[in-house]
Amino acid sequence: MRISAPKFGHGLLRNWRLEPDILYLNHGGYGAPALTVSHAAEAWRQRTEANPTRFFEEALGPEIRRNADLLAEFLNGKGDDLVFVDNVTAGINAVLRSLVMIPGDEIVATSHLYQSSRRTLEFVCERAGARLVLADIPYPVRSEGEIIAGIMGALSPRTRLVMLDHVTANTALHLPVKTLALRCGERGIPVLVDGTHGPGNVGVDLAELGSAGVRWYVGSGHHWLGAAFGCAFLWVHPDRQGLVRPTAISTRFGEGFTEAFDWPGAKDFGAWLSMSEALRLQESYGEARIRNYTHGLAAKAAELLQKRWGTPLGAQPPMFSAMASVALPTDVPATERAAGGIRQQLRDGHRIEVTITPFAGRLWVRLSAYLYNELEDYERLADAVMAVTGKAPLAASV
């Protein structure tokens, strides 16, 4: 007997531990594991604690490789090219701090770069006497052509690496990474992709990206794939694996690429090993079905907010994913303090959790759409923002 896939929307909230009195519109912030994933991670912790010696010395290695193989298959890659790390920041540090650069070299990223990545790039460049070049990408963005022109215009004969976000964290832009990797490859420049918002949100084909010129892809397991917190991965093209070192050099360093990363030392591996359950859920819900629902809901929500507030979108729907950005209806200076104040008022006064970011001289709401959200959630957000900013509510038009 065939079991029908569950209906998306508020009925699924029972499968998460989210606070029942909070309207959660920030799945893109950190993700949120479903209950079965949390239970799977906890089961691995209990198994570890029952006999740590046997688990670490006999069971752990094969289980890490089994989960890596499953994830690689999901992303059309090979398990031998993929290792787990605790978060995207750790994976990016492993890549960047393994680079060999000389004074005068340049790394190119975009002006939409996430803050922790910027700090890492600045640290690496300062240590090597290299230069970080931020390609200016206008915002709002009118077309992919603007993105491509901005990045290609920032390259020089000194460029040693281009770092791209698959989807920018603060501004929710889905970048054309394959096209950019091909263009950079024509000039002999390798590409590192920050895939925090890639897997589970937009299609990720590691074989295709590798052929295009991506040499490193760091993805989150706990954002859109739904693994437990503390699960991310690093994929490295075979021609670069001998050059990448883990941030923690441990017992098996020097034995091979996967061996060096699979054993960082004794720790709680429950999050890494929860990946198989997260992938089982992805399969049960249907990857294409998830994407159709979340992308469609984000586009409808962005259109709703744009019409209610009379403010611009950060980009048009083809460059959306399950996240989108809409300018707030306020003239408040675009500062971190102002953004934090509005966010706090929405949380405390209206019981809504959503990200507010200052960018390009304006404040923006970066909304997320996930399986437990419905369009009426964003109606409530529209009214709450108008109340907080002192704007009179307009009639909804969707």
pLDDT tens digits in sequence order for the chain, 398 residues long: 344 678 999 999 999 999 999 999 999 999 999 999 999 999 999 999 999 999 999 999 999 999 999 999 999 999 999 999 999 999 999 999 999 999 999 999 999 999 999 999 999 999 999 999 999 999 999 999 999 999 999 999 999 999 999 999 999 999 999 999 999 999 999 999 999 999 999 999 999 999 999 999 999 999 999 999 999 999 999 999 999 999 989 888 888 999 999 999 999 999 999 999 999 999 999 999 999 999 999 999 999 999 999 999 999 988 999 999 999 999 999 999 999 999 999 999 999 999 999 999 999 999 999 999 999 999 999 999 999 998 654 433 32
Is the peptide bond preceding residue 157 cis, with omega within 30 degrees of 0? no
CB 354 within 8 A of CB 367: yes
Under CATH, what is the fold of the domain 39-281?
Aspartate Aminotransferase; domain 2 (3.40.640)
360: its two tokens: 């390009």
For residue 72, give the 3-state DSSP assignment: helix
Q: What is the C-alpha separation between 363 and 333, in angstroms, rounded?
A: 8
Q: Which residues make beta-bridge pairs with 236?
A: 216
For residue 281, give the 3-state DSSP assignment: helix
189: its two tokens: 């420049």
> In this structure, is the dihedral angle defined by the CA atoms of residues 51, 53, 56 and 58, taken in order, positive or negative?
negative
| Calculated CA dihedral for residues 81, 84, 89, 93, nearest 10 degrees | -50
> Would you kindly state where each structural domain of the chain is located, as residue ranges?
10-30+286-389, 39-281
In sequence order, the 6+-apart residues with CB closer than 8 A to the CB of 91 are 85, 218, 232, 233, 234
Helices (H), 352-393: 375-389
Count of Cβ atoms closer than 10 Å to residue 82 Cβ: 24
CATH number (3.40.50.10190, 3.90.1150.10, 1.20.1050.10, 3.40.50.150) of 10-30+286-389 reads 3.90.1150.10
Q: What is the C-alpha separation between 8 and 282, in angstroms, rounded?
A: 13
Q: Which residues make beta-bridge pairs with 13?
A: none
pTM for this model (two decimals): 0.95
Is the peptide bond preceding residue 264 cis, with omega within 30 degrees of 0? no
Q: What's the Cα-to-Cα distance from 388 to each of 270, 350, 393, rounded to whole Å? A: 41, 9, 11
Q: Which of 325, 317, 320, 318 is nearest to 359 (CA)?
A: 325
